[in-house]
Amino acid sequence: MESIIDAIENSLNQGRTRTSFTYLANGEDPETPVSLLELRQVSLRIASLLPPQSTVILLLPQGTDFIKAFFGCLYAQAIAVPVALPTRNRGLDSIRNIVADASISIGITSRNSLTKLQSWFGEDGSAIGVRWLFVEDFPDIGTYTFDRPKSQQLAFLQYTSGSTGMPKAVMVTHENIVANSRIIQKCFQNTTESVSVCWLPSFHDMGLMDGIIQPVFSGFPSILMSPLHFVQRPARWLNALTRYRATYSGGPNFAYDFCVDRIKEEELSGLDLSHLQCLYNGSEPVRLNTIRRFAEHFSSAGFNITKMLTCYGLAEATLAVATSKLGQAPGIVQKQGADLVSSGGTHEDTKVRIVNPETAALCADGDVGEVWASGKSISPGYWNRPNQTADAFVDLEGERYLRTGDLGFLWGDELFVTGRIKDLIIIRGKNHYPQDIEQTVFNAHPSLQPNGGAAFPVEWGGEESLVVVQEIRRSFSLEADYECIINEICSQINQHHGLRPLDVIIVRPGTIPKTTSGKLQRSVYRQLWNEARLKPIATLQDYILRRNLKA
């Protein structure tokens, strides 16, 4: 198999037509399913309108129109560029930058979507130099003769989430897609009898590979919903798992805390998760407490902790790099006083090495270094960025490896991810991982929002110092004793990490910036702090100033 198009053609030729996509329009009510045959027919109509090798921006909401447009690009041998729809003024600059960066002159959208954006992009999109094709106008008749893509051809550009810098376009080939799809199929044991439910955004690598491409590759039905509908009411996700007797689903670590915190006791009675074979936690870090909380909270619904698989991946590896084993609880290692959860081992031809990022020397088992990965899933590089490609994709042991920028260690054949190199906090010569400090902070007081904080270093007085920003829970925002909360945060940080923060800033709920995959954008908050543009409810520096004035 050279491409995911081969998977569609082979399935139809062999009469395997169980693959279908059903979108839950409001997170609950299903639209008419799209069969594999219908998907092929509409995709070919779209392909007839696209020049081969062109870069095509997909500006569509979550749903089956996006899937048809994506595969239309692949049938045309055009290069799909999935992006997030802007909301109000957010995301507009990103789209303009992507259009310029990827030399895009053609796009696929809906009339409704463009109507909302006309004041920014012009009536026909000409304000950003794009000619739009509308899903409502795709021809209902006609045939399109196509050549199957070759393995080394580019299939799509996956713009990185920008958790540590400006987004870059990762080039993903058909070989990358097939190799990574085979890994996902094998480690999660997906078959034609599997059923998927996915709320992850389709323009993101996890939602695209797991919610759309994996069902086509393995030949099973996929139920889709919008991330917004999940965030509004996370019970919708588990209700869909129950209703469609899903065997396969997952999300980032924060989603599981979100379910425990937001799904009420009275909503548990109708849930049945006993048919799940795999519920993956694809985030770094994966938190042991999160896994245990979720397993305990939903045990009455038939969920078993051995059904939660942990995994590690990134766009430059198409998606999956390592996963834990089906039917086994993930490995746990205690390091620097913290319980670290394994992301599992590698599969197929994927290899992982832990390398000293400064000397390029291999690290011993258990020593922390940069995670390097190789294999057929690894991207050729970044679109039109030869220097950054040369920096990130390097030779080791006679093979081409990706420098992930993530820190971790190997213990046996399992990978433990500890954080990002660029996020590492070094104070007085000692390394501190921000996620460890962030967990200490939100556990310091019941008024603080789990997964709602960011810890980062700043230069102050000629040395590195710690600053923490933390959201308050909505239910506590009016009645909280902020001085008491800040004192407790400082006490816990000192007790567990031996640090005294320069500043602790309490902010309103929902203000911590995150990427589309739920990763914290610590660099954004560091910049806001340096520029004095934060809008705090309370700060440690305010209380220190008041005490000094009273003295």
| pLDDT tens-digit map of 305-320 | 999 999 999 999 999 9
pLDDT of residue 130: 87
Task: For residue 99, give Cα distances in angstroms to 81, 96, 190, 306.
Answer: 9, 5, 36, 44
pLDDT of residue 549: 56
pLDDT of residue 120: 62
Torsion of CA 4, 5, 7, 8, to 10 degrees: 130
| pLDDT tens-digit map of 239-296 | 999 999 999 999 999 899 999 999 988 899 999 999 999 999 987 678 898 999 999 9
**Helix (H) / strand (E) containing 352:** strand 351-355
Ordered domains of the chain (ranges, CATH): 1-232 (3.40.50.12780), 424-550 (3.30.300.30)
pLDDT of residue 551: 47
Task: For residue 412, give Cα distances in angstroms to 68, 320, 352.
Answer: 43, 19, 12
pLDDT of residue 533: 84
pLDDT of residue 525: 79
**Helix (H) / strand (E) containing 487:** helix 482-497
Q: For residue 107, what is the DSSP state?
A: E
pLDDT of residue 327: 86
pLDDT of residue 155: 98
CA atoms within 13 A on the CB side of 488: 17
Nearest to 103 by CA among 384, 429, 386, 513: 384
**Helix ranges, 57-110 (H):** 64-76, 92-101
Report the relative pairing of strands 430-432 and 425-427 from DSSP bridges. antiparallel
How many whole angstroms separate alpha carbon 77 and alpha carbon 37?
19
User: What tokens does 84 get?
Assistant: 């997030």
What pairs with residue 345 in β-bridges?
323
Q: For residue 24, what is the DSSP state?
A: B
CB 55 within 8 A of CB 104: yes
Report the relative pairing of strands 278-282 and 248-251 from DSSP bridges. parallel
How many whole angstroms separate alpha carbon 330 and alpha carbon 387?
38
Q: What is the pTM of this model?
A: 0.87
| pLDDT tens-digit map of 135-182 | 888 867 566 788 999 999 999 999 986 544 567 899 999 999 999 999
How many whole angstroms separate alpha carbon 315 and alpha carbon 180?
11
Q: What parts of the chain have a pLDDT lower than 70?
A: 88-91, 116, 118-127, 139, 141-143, 161-166, 284, 336-337, 513-519, 545-551
How many whole angstroms separate alpha carbon 512 and alpha carbon 164?
15
CB 449 within 8 A of CB 471: yes
- The secondary structure of 115-142 as a DSSP string is HHHHHHH-TTSGGGT-EEEEGGGS-SS-
pLDDT of residue 214: 98
